[in-house]
């Protein structure tokens, strides 16, 4: 399927900057301005995009330790886990990701890399800031998001040595501990960092069959390393980042609609506790080249995820192991600097995603239903955005995106020994 989207010149491009300038004058003391997002403060359409930026201290003060807690500091954003952290639903100003799980209307980015849909809810590690961009972003970001983008920017290693150990406890035996070490490996050339995180958030639901009273929670272990090659007095730099996250959870735990406060699972006698384990490996190579007027960015990223999931459903026991693989490449260039008459963004984007899902519904005495599904999807896109600064208060902006999306699915299985599917 070929898809072309044209974003014409809009009257809103004339009105929004004036409103934004009025709001900025009232909020200068509390506003954080960063340039780690996809566009700098003066790049194409930046002044025409409704956005909110939250700093690390603000996240800490609000107790935001995972992405599903970001609505505490980002007005208009809602994130729910739909009973399991793998299948989150994000809503932003009435636009929801529930309609398309594979291409959500609101997308989570970490350091310029779109995350797998099953990795939207994740613990936050070494965050510098979080930026929320509202509205369609197809002409500014490679992965088109019609509702908006949550962009998490992490701290990059530099010439300043840093190190800390922190921890905290909360109710229901929950706790968080983190270690970070960052600084120069060879000052003026190479920098690195290491972060380790252990985060436990126990639940409060009860399985009357087993007596467990802490279901519904998560236990995450995360480690990441970063290397940054940035020679002094050179216009270029390169980076490498690798991380591994494993989260164990007792989710897929549901209470009866008529006894929500009782927190007891609505399951058959003798049913075991639900169990889920998700492990995600991520690797990113990045490069940046800066001139007086332009900045060029290149990112190549890979994610591999495997999760196992077991939970009771009536008299059946459900097993759903699944594997995901995703690789993303993006080349993006944008104008740089203030006091420009015209700002522009150009980009090329490719994303390939592969998924395998096995499902088994077993009765106590025999298998009932089993199936296997394979899904592949590829996106190729080119995008551009332009903003003409007529005056200090009025802009005209427009953008265009050309996208080719292709996907395929294979599905087969058996029910009581009778095969079905392709």
Q: What is the mean pLDDT of residues 185-209?
A: 94
**pLDDT tens for residues 157-167?**
999 999 999 99
Q: What is the mean pLDDT of residues 33-44?
A: 40
pLDDT at 379 (0 to 100): 95
pLDDT at residue 376 greater than cutoff 80: yes
**pLDDT tens for residues 224-240?**
999 999 999 999 999 99
Contact (Cβ atoms closer than 8 angstroms) between residue 110 and residue 126 = no
pLDDT at residue 32 greater than cutoff 70: no
pLDDT at 26 (0 to 100): 42
Strands 77-80, 89-92: parallel, antiparallel or unpaired by DSSP?
antiparallel
Provide the domain count of the chain.
1
**pLDDT tens for residues 263-307?**
888 888 888 999 999 999 999 999 999 999 999 999 999 999 999
Q: What is the mean pLDDT of residues 210-223?
A: 92
Contact (Cβ atoms closer than 8 angstroms) between residue 13 and residue 139 = no
pLDDT band at 23 (very low <50, low <70, confident <90, very high): very low
Assign residue 174 the CATH number of its domain.
2.40.170.20
**pLDDT tens for residues 49-89?**
678 999 999 999 999 999 999 999 999 899 988 788 898 88
What percent of the chain has a predicted confidence (pLDDT) above 70?
A: 88
Lowest mean pLDDT, pick from 36-40, 134-138, 371-375: 36-40
pLDDT at 335 (0 to 100): 92
Averaged pLDDT of the chain: 86
Q: What is the mean pLDDT of residues 311-329?
A: 92
pLDDT at residue 360 greater than cutoff 90: yes
Structural domain including 10 reads 2-421
pLDDT at residue 346 greater than cutoff 90: yes
132-146, 317-331, 387-401, range with greatest mean pLDDT: 317-331
């Amino acid at each position: 399927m070929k898809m072309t989207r044209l974003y014409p010149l809009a009257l809103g491009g004339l009105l929004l900057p004036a409103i934004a300038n009025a709001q900025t004058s009232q909020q200068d003391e509390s506003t954080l301005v960063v340039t780690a997002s996809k566009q700098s403060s003066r790049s194409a359409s930046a002044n025409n995009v409704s956005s909110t930026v939250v700093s690390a201290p603000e996240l800490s003060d609000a107790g935001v330790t995972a992405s599903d807690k970001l609505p505490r500091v980002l007005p208009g954003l809602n994130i729910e886990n739909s009973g399991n952290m793998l299948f989150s639903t994000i809503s932003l100003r009435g636009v929801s990701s529930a309609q398309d799980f594979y291409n959500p209307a609101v997308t989570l980015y970490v350091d310029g890399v779109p995350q797998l849909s099953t990795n939207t809810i994740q613990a936050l590690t070494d965050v510098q800031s979080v930026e929320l961009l509202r509205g369609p972003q197809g002409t500014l970001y490679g992965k088109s998001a019609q509702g908006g983008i949550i962009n998490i920017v992490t701290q990059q290693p530099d010439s300043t040595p840093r190190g800390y150990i922190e921890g905290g406890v909360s109710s229901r035996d929950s706790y968080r501990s983190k270690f970070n070490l960052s600084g120069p490996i060879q000052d003026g050339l190479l920098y690195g960092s290491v972060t380790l995180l252990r985060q436990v958030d126990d639940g409060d639901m009860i399985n009357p069959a087993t007596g467990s009273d802490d279901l519904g929670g998560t236990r995450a272990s995360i480690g990441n390393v970063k290397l940054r090659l940035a020679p002094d007095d050179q216009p270029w730099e390169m980076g490498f980042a690798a991380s591994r996250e494993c989260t164990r959870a007792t989710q897929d735990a549901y209470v009866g609609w008529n006894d929500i406060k009782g927190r007891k699972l609505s399951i058959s006698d003798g049913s075991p506790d639900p169990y889920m384990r998700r492990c995600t490996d991520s690797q990113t190579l990045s490069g940046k080249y800066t001139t007086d007027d332009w900045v060029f960015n290149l990112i190549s990223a890979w994610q591999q995820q495997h999760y196992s999931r077991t939970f009771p459903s009536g008299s059946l026991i459900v097993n759903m192991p699944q594997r995901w693989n995703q690789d993303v490449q993006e080349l993006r260039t944008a104008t740089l600097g203030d006091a420009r008459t015209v700002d522009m963004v150009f980009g090329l984007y490719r994303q390939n995603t592969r998924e395998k899902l096995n499902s088994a519904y077993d009765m106590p005495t025999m298998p009932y239903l089993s199936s296997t599904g394979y899904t592949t999807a590829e996106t190729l896109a080119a995008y551009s955005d332009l903003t003409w600064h007529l005056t200090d208060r009025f802009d005209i902006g427009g953008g265009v995106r050309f996208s080719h999306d292709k996907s395929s699915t294979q599905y087969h299985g058996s029910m009581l020994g009778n095969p079905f599917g392709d």
